[in-house]
Structure 1
Amino acid sequence: MACMSPSPAYRPDPRFQALGEAFADRVEPANFPQTLLRFRNDRAAATVGLETLSEDEWLRCFGRFEPLPENQSFPLAMRYHGHQFRVYNPDLGDGRGFLFAQVREAGSNRLLDLATKGSGQTPWSRAGDGRLTLKGGVREILAASFLEALGTPTSRAFSLVETGEALVRGDEPSPTRSAVLTRLSHSHIRFGTFQRLAYFDRRDLMLQLVDHVVETYFPGLADQADRPAALMQAVVEASARMLSRWMTSGFVHGVLNTDNMVVTGESFDYGPWRFLPRNDPNFVAAYFDHSGLYSFGRQPEAVFWNLQQLAGCLTLVTDQAALLNALNSFSDLYRAALRDAMLDRLGVKRRDVEAEVDLVNAAFRALADGGEALRWEPFFFDWFGGAASEARALRGPRAALYGREAFVDLRRRLAAFEPDRPERLAHVVFERDDPEELIIDEVEALWSPIAEADDWGPLYAKLARIDAARQAYDLGLS
């Protein structure tokens, strides 16, 4: 029985299931002892016609996973392989999640996935319990919300339901509370989805997957004679854009394995993520990343390496030269995307390429010059709007820093750029001395009242402030 009645804005379109049993396994959601709603993203729900659900309906959909009407009739645990810290692992797959439904987004008509984390065991659980800690769910809500506010392509945390089980984890205090998260994302088709088919030398299935991805996510490429090469080019472009936004947001993903990158170029599946407290290319998010493979400054290298693995898979169905052409475009695409991202974060209009490159280089020099005294996010907050914010920056708490030579150079270059939509500076957010940040100490501080007193007030207040920042910056995700 469906968990709700259809509404005019709700448009189901369950396409992935048509790929068949070679791509996913039918699974059952866990039967949780309780379903206690802790978070629902009504703004995201409104984009897919689900914001009108009552709390009972919501819990039936996203706590018990009763099927949405005219959608998938059962959950699907997706199959994939992947390189984990560059070691190939053929034993992956959705081990504690599944694809629950697919819906069309209002306005854009994009196909979006509703998928889970912590929904129970699957054939790919590898002796794991298939569960998610409540703290892990809270961390994902925060990461996705803040990245969205900074204009970074990301999945959105859609729902968090506490499930009433005591979980034992070796790397955090146990037993700890459990939850099931639902995320809304453009796609969950990973680079590792292609890797699995290459591993089994399934040319037929690779062609089927390429056609599915092109027709579903890149329909403008449907008439291309060489669909695999065209798809590779599109994925390179999407990945370069996502990377550029990470690098201007000071975001460190932490686990940039090939199963954690999707073809549509969105961040998702937030584990040991961090935001930079200060400029530091060697900063790592995962305590187990002893070599710094996925450090902040090495993320461009990691993304390109993953793209190379995807291209290697596609040699099964197209000419290697065309794939190399796509890979060789990555550097230029990334540099162009980084310019766009930096100008967006500084809130200034485009100019000629040479001036833009000089400004981007000056901004990174200033961040480096600020050293321990300058936090990452306050720098962009102070200079948002460029020269239009100079007076605000020079009377703020970091004014002494901005007299240094690197900042004098930055200010000179910013003066040559017009502010983009300067009316944004009238937002109440810019009346404050400091911006919203999301460094790890604050994340822990937000979790403590939940763990100690079941007090969710500080978390909800933080999410409200992040949303205010999103509205103030108005960077968008398109």
Structure 2
Amino acid sequence: MPFKPQVEPALAPYRADVKITDLGEKIGDPVQAATFPKHQLRFRNDRWDKSVGLSTLSNDQWIQHFGHFEALDANLSPALALRYHGHQFRNYNPQIGDGRGFLFAQMRDHENRLMDLATKGSGTTPWSRTGDGKLTLKGGVREILATEMLEALGVETSKTFSLVETGEDLQRDDEPSPTRSAVMTRLSHSHIRYGTFQRIAAEQNEPLMHDLIRYCLDHFYGGGKTDNPAAELFELVASKAAQLAASYMSAGFVHGVLNTDNINITGESFDYGPWRFTPYWEPGFTAAYFDHEGLYCFARQPEALHWNLAQLASAFRLVCDSDPLVSTLETFPRAYGEALTQHFCWRLGLQSEGFERDKPLVMAAEKALAEKDVTIDQFFFDWGQNKIPQDGHYSTEVYDEFRREYESYEPFRSAEDIYWQSHQPCSMYIEEVEAIWGAIDQDDNWQPLSEKVAAIRKMGSALRGL
């Protein structure tokens, strides 16, 4: 499955299409949103609202739907907190599910894809356990920054659709408290997780497993084409997982919590907690302070996604022989390698010429980046303009091999875009994230966030070669 960077979303009409209820009552539990003391719109995704026909909503109407959670026309009512299990840091947990969110709506987008609108921070559900079901405002701001940056860098990701500040003071153990609260809505091509299948397998519910596999094939992958739907879906999902792993690496991104309940069946990155971008090609860089063993560090993310696929295969064993599943698992390393070379070439603005041809280029780049004398973003910025950079960093011997490989490729990107006229790339390191949050927290100044989102989107346009 070749890498295709996402194009600019186009205007589309609103087309409700509620398919999740076809799966019956065991897929989720009906829930209502919490009542909040305040509703202040802080972010509205003015790129992706038009793709699902919601750009004509006034801000007041927007808050009614994405603050009070009044159902959209002909859509889910009530909302559904989805059920799932999951491996969390490789420990199986059957006591989880949508604990602070729910599936709010489904509709078609500009490409006729079935899309979900789901919440985070909308209150307690049957799966909240001891949590309050709420979201910190800082968590919402961080998710905006993560999704915008990843989208620009060619990662398939959920879109932060809405953020409404809700006026509560939340207590948290891992950040200064009390802290401001918010409710977020994300747009994604499915919220079915690997853990959704794990729960069904644990319950030995073969009819629901068959139905969910068919649901995923029909609505996310264009319909089944073989007489072995489970094996077919697994092969498609594995290809998407390889692309996701490769895109993380080329973006220098560390998700932080790649548990099976955080991995989407469509291969979209989502559910951002302790994420970070690593400045340098540092294999052991971790994002989560609680990841003491480095299980989800930068270099181990492909391994983590491969391991998660093995857990999904185990769940599929309820309705499928193991041989085709094992065969697909064995192809993952190659699929990941092919995807990585595609993503690297794209960031460099070069036409990919196939795995074997591209592999020396990528290996030379990784070897050079491992010297850590230039950041990942600076490297791609300098070489992605389709000219040999004159910076002294690149005159050293370690770059000789990379330069030879680079010069043998055809560029596809124009360096005339205004983005390339600056001297610094658009980056997203933890210091800037904290500075953007600090302006909001201390002075209620949202201008740095708005400016950063605008800068990220300009970079995205330049990288797409528009």
TM-score, length basis structure 2: 0.96
Paired with 1:417 and 1:30, the residues of 2 have a C-alpha distance of 55
> What is residue 149 of structure 2 aligned with on the other side?
146
> What is residue 446 of structure 1 aligned with on the other side?
436
1:435 aligns with 2:425: yes
Q: Contact between 1:97 and 1:115, CA under 8 Å: does it hold in 2?
A: yes
Shift of 1:65: 0.6
Deviations 1:316-360 (A, max 9, x none): 101110111111111111111111111101110122543311111
Q: Contact between 1:151 and 1:475, CA under 8 Å: does it hold in 2?
A: no
**1:102 alignment partner, SS class:** strand
Paired with 2:86 and 2:252, the residues of 1 have a C-alpha distance of 26
Out of 57, 62, 70, which is 2:66 matched to?
Answer: 62
Identity of matched residues, %? 51
Q: How many residues align?
A: 456
> What is residue 253 of structure 1 aligned with on the other side?
255
Matches within 5 A, 1:356-375: 356-369=358-371, 371=372, 373-375=373-375
Shift of 1:181: 0.5
Matches within 5 A, 1:17-36: 17-36=21-40
Out of 336, 339, 343, which is 2:338 matched to?
Answer: 336
> What is residue 380 of structure 1 aligned with on the other side?
380
Shift of 1:74: 1.4
Shift of 1:411: 1.3
Shift of 1:288: 0.3
Deviations 1:136-179 (A, max 9, x none): 00000000000000010000000000000000001100000000
Matches within 5 A, 1:70-85: 70-85=74-89
> What is residue 168 of structure 2 aligned with on the other side?
165
> What is residue 14 of structure 1 aligned with on the other side?
18
Give the letter for the 1:198 counterpart.
A
**1:426 alignment partner, SS class:** coil
> What is residue 389 of structure 1 aligned with on the other side?
387
1:214 aligns with 2:217: yes
**2:154 alignment partner, SS class:** coil
Out of 235, 238, 248, which is 1:236 matched to?
Answer: 238
Deviations 1:191-236 (A, max 9, x none): 000000111111121111111111111224x231000000000000
> What is residue 90 of structure 1 aligned with on the other side?
94
> What is residue 4 of structure 1 aligned with on the other side?
none
Shift of 1:299: 0.7
Q: Contact between 1:102 and 1:114, CA under 8 Å: does it hold in 2?
A: yes
Q: Contact between 2:338 and 2:354, CA under 8 Å: does it hold in 1?
A: no
Which ranges in structure 1 are unaligned for 5 or more consecutive residues?
Answer: 1-6
1:400 aligns with 2:392: yes
Matches within 5 A, 1:196-215: 196-215=199-218
Deviations 1:253-284 (A, max 9, x none): 10010000011001000000010111100000
Out of 101, 124, 127, which is 2:127 matched to?
Answer: 124
Q: Contact between 1:150 and 1:475, CA under 8 Å: does it hold in 2?
A: no
Paired with 2:165 and 2:439, the residues of 1 have a C-alpha distance of 16
Paired with 1:327 and 1:263, the residues of 2 have a C-alpha distance of 15
Paired with 2:25 and 2:355, the residues of 1 have a C-alpha distance of 49
Shift of 1:389: 2.0
Paired with 2:154 and 2:211, the residues of 1 have a C-alpha distance of 33
**1:30 alignment partner, SS class:** coil
Give the letter for the 1:439 counterpart.
Y
Paired with 1:413 and 1:230, the residues of 2 have a C-alpha distance of 37
Give the letter for the 1:52 counterpart.
T
> What is residue 105 of structure 2 aligned with on the other side?
101
Paired with 1:337 and 1:8, the residues of 2 have a C-alpha distance of 31
Instruction: Give the root-mean-square deviation of aligned CA atoms.
Output: 1.2
Paired with 2:12 and 2:379, the residues of 1 have a C-alpha distance of 44
> What is residue 5 of structure 2 aligned with on the other side?
none
1:274 aligns with 2:280: no
Which ranges in structure 2 are unaligned for 5 or more consecutive residues?
Answer: 1-10
Paired with 1:409 and 1:313, the residues of 2 have a C-alpha distance of 45
Q: Contact between 2:245 and 2:336, CA under 8 Å: does it hold in 1?
A: yes
> What is residue 193 of structure 1 aligned with on the other side?
196
Paired with 1:187 and 1:381, the residues of 2 have a C-alpha distance of 33
Paired with 1:318 and 1:26, the residues of 2 have a C-alpha distance of 31
Change (3 A) 1:354 1:19: closer
Deviations 1:73-111 (A, max 9, x none): 2110000000000000000000000000011111x2111
TM-score, length basis structure 1: 0.94
Paired with 1:149 and 1:217, the residues of 2 have a C-alpha distance of 22
Give the letter for the 1:118 counterpart.
G
